[in-house]
Each structure stands twice: as structure tokens, then as C-alpha cells.
Structure 1
Amino acid sequence: MSKAFFVTGTDTEVGKTAISCALLHAARARGLSTAACKPVAAGCDERGHNEDALALQAAMSLDLPYEQVNPVALGPAIAPHIAAHQAGRQLRAASLAGYCRGVISVGADFVLIEGAGGWRVPLGPRETLADVAIALGTPVILVVAMRLGCISHALLTAEAIRADGLQLAGWVANQAGPTEMACHRENLDALRQRMPAPLLGEVPHLLPYGPDEAAQHIDISGLLL
């Protein structure tokens, strides 16, 4: 049976895709087959391809067509609900969850569903991306960018995930920029003491970034139990 997880972040530009690719590489290193889906992506090239979705497609072991990895591709790099409105489209959580189930049903051992932005990114007037995760019922992995404000952002997101009835399976501390935040260790310790889930790893800023190297900083053994 597939182990599937929804990957979210404390905000946009926190490194969700980089960490997702690292998680996929960590699973492949254990001999597991892997697949991933980014159900909606805003910010696509002239072919309708999104950089993050392409990275996921390259990192997973199964050979799935781009349209299955990223079924809803929107042009401008803006909030998905605004991009969809500009394109005359409607985003519905049930439809997006259905696309994700299609990837899960392929039967990979380890499957990641990557959100867009943070937990409450709107899909429309009433729904958010959290509704996709709720519809799937999958445990959640939270990517925390280690920068000023991360403690409150992480704890509030963890509270929201649990309030929505989902399990926070673990979190990853990601150094999303080249400059380490002031009192990095103290902030990390504060998060470890307060987060209601295990720390899966601390990923440093890697230049150039390589998912195989990033995977060496992550322990997924607790996710596979």
C-alpha cells in the first residue's frame, strides 16, 4: 500500500519543492518506488509547464506524464485563485483531490502531494488548498523556512492542520536562503520543544542545490512505520 503525504509550508518560497524532491530521493535510496503530484501550479512557461512540477517529475522514480504530475497549470506566478479567475477557470477541491488520487492509485510505495504556498491558500470564495488535503485524508509534512517569524508561522500552521482533523506526520527545518537567521539554534530548539510532531531533518542552504545531497539531511524512517 502506498504511503502518501501532503506537503505544505509555513509560507510561499520556503522550499517545499526542494524538500519534496529530497524526500523523494530519500525514499528511493531505501529502494522505494516514488511518485508526486502538484495538483495546481501558478507560474508556467509557454508550454504550460511549471518549474516546481518539473522538478518533482524528475525526482520521482515512476514515469508519469507531466499532465498527471501537474493537472492544473496556470500562467502567471500569482495566487492560484486569482490566476484561475483571470483564465476563466474554477478551482474545486474535489476535482484537485481526484487528480491526486489518480497518482496515488498508480501504486508507488511513497507518494507526495505538494501544495502551493501555505496551508490556507484560497482556491475560490470558500475553499482552500487545505480542503484538498482534508479530502485526501493524508498525513501532512510541514516545511518550515528558518527565518525571522518562523516559530509563530510554524505553530499556527501546525494548529490549523490538527484543527482540520489531519495528522502532522513531521516537519523539516529548511535554510531557504544563504544567510542563517540570528540565533538559529535557539529558534530551532524552541520549535522542537513546541511542535507536535517529530523533526525529520535540518536541511542547510546548498549551492548548488542537489536533492540527493539534501536527502542526506533527512530521516524518513518515522514516516514509513
Structure 2
Amino acid sequence: MLTHFFVTGTDSRVGKTIVSRALLQAMSAQGKIVLGYKPIATGSQELADGVRNKDAVTLQKSSSISYPLAKITPFALSDEDIFTSELPLDLFDQITAGLQFMRLEADTVVVEGCDGWRTLITPAQSYSEWVVQSQMPVVLVVGIQEGCVSQALMAAQSIIADGVCLLGWVANRINPCLAHYGETIAAIRQNIEAPLLGEIPYLPRAESREMAKFLDLSPLVGQSSLAKAATNNK
């Protein structure tokens, strides 16, 4: 069983939170206790009762346990650019501790990333380094729009080259007017060995909808064994 995995995207604003919601709902429907975790989030707001991040709120509402927002997103940044924000030197240790605590509470923790796979948190350090250190398997979210085929292939190649297991990918139709949608999906499927786990249609207010029906998690059964074997071989 997958105890935790990381959700990354081909870019920012491709629907990682919506896909994370769908994953949480789908696993919850299988009887699992699930928690969403977004260690670092940008675009947070300073309110009278504290810092609030809309992605963290979506994850909170999609989880089996009503976790405090401060635990779901310990680093809720107001700046839209993670690279320009000041983060502690022991950032990886802190977010690892948060993940380990959540794993004690849940069967599976869905860890949502920030922006794309190569997002920098310092001039010389990427967020993906933490995922590699933790040997977390990855689900890739592909925002279906112009240019997404090359973005998807480059992201998948980078993930695999970094030595972590690519569990699968999810297509999120963020451009409802895109021509040749079916051909685009077929081209990505042909060139990424990891399975397609689902297709999310263009939906208004998707963060408040039931999303599990758009996913098929059956391929993850075999993939989770591969991820475990890869981790054990490190």
C-alpha cells in the first residue's frame, strides 16, 4: 500500500490541488484514512485569524481527518514566488517531520508540491531534492493546453532521471477550447511509460466537487510494489 506520495505538475496553475483532491477522495472511497499535505504554499493571505491558503483549505476539506491548516501547510507564503521567499535552513528537516507525523495518523498522505518539478527554493536548491532524499514516488499532473506534450515529456524524464518512481500521470483539461484533445492525450500516453490515472474535465469550482469518479487508481497497485522495491534498493 502507498503510505505517501508526491504530486507535482508540468508547471504552476495546472491543477495540482484539484488532482490531489481527486486522489484523496478516490482513496477515501476505498476505505483508507487519507490526509493532504502541502508543506510549502504561495499566494497565502494574512487574515485576522491567521494566515490562510486556499489550496490548504481544499486539502483540509478533502481529507479524512480535520487537520489544522497550520499542519497541512506549515510554510504558507504570501509571495507568489517561492524562490524570493525566506525559508529556514532546516526546511527539509521540518517538512519531513510534518510528513512523518501525518503518516502516524493516516493510511496514505498525499503530498502536494509547489509549481513544477524543478522549482527552486534557493539559488542552488530545488524542492525536488527533498522528494529525492525522501524517495517518494510521484504522480505528475499535466495541464492540457498548448505546448503541454513537450512539458509532460520533459517533466517525466526529469523525475525518472532523478531516481524516483513515477507512479502515473493525470490529465487536467485547463483549456476547454484546446483543439485535438484526444490526439494530445494519445501522444503523451505513447511517450510516457507510466500509466494514465485519469482525465479531469474542465469544471468550474472543481475544488468543491466530487472528483474521485474521474480517476482509476487500479494501476497504482502494481506501481506501489515497484516504488517500494526502488526504495529498498537505495
Report the TM-score, using the length of structure 2 for normalisation: 0.87
In structure 2, relative to structure 1, the CA distance for the partners of 1:97 and 1:180 (3 Å cut) is farther
Please, which moves more after superposition, 109-118 or 93-102?
93-102
Measure how far apart 1:213 and its partner are: 3.3
The letter of the residue matching 1:207 is P
Q: Match of 1:142, SS?
A: strand
Say whether residues 1:56 and 2:59 are aligned partners: yes
Measure how far apart 1:81 and its partner are: 2.4
What is the aligned length? 219
| In 1, Cα distance between equivalents of 2:65 and 2:166 | 26
Q: Match of 2:142, SS?
A: strand
Q: Match of 1:172, SS?
A: strand
Q: Is the contact between residue 6 and residue 136 of structure 2 (CA under 8 Å) also seen in structure 1?
A: yes
- Runs (5+) with no aligned partner, structure 1: none
The letter of the residue matching 2:91 is R
In structure 2, relative to structure 1, the CA distance for the partners of 1:64 and 1:210 (3 Å cut) is closer
Q: Is the contact between residue 82 and residue 120 of structure 2 (CA under 8 Å) also seen in structure 1?
A: yes
Partner of 1:184: 181
Q: Deviations over 1:18-73 (max 9, x none)?
A: 01001101111111110111001111111211100111011000232211110111
Partner of 2:68: 65
- Runs (5+) with no aligned partner, structure 2: 223-234
Q: Deviations over 1:56-107 (max 9, x none)?
A: 011000232211110111112x21121227xxx557334333322222232x
In structure 2, relative to structure 1, the CA distance for the partners of 1:210 and 1:94 (3 Å cut) is closer
Q: Deviations over 1:156-184 (max 9, x none)?
A: 1111111111000000000124x231211
Report the TM-score, using the length of structure 1 for normalisation: 0.91
In structure 2, relative to structure 1, the CA distance for the partners of 1:188 and 1:2 (3 Å cut) is closer
| In 1, Cα distance between equivalents of 2:171 and 2:93 | 31
| In 2, Cα distance between equivalents of 1:33 and 1:115 | 21
One of 81, 105, 109 as aligned partner of 1:79: 81
| In 2, Cα distance between equivalents of 1:23 and 1:105 | 19
| In 2, Cα distance between equivalents of 1:214 and 1:203 | 8
Q: Identity, % of aligned pairs?
A: 37
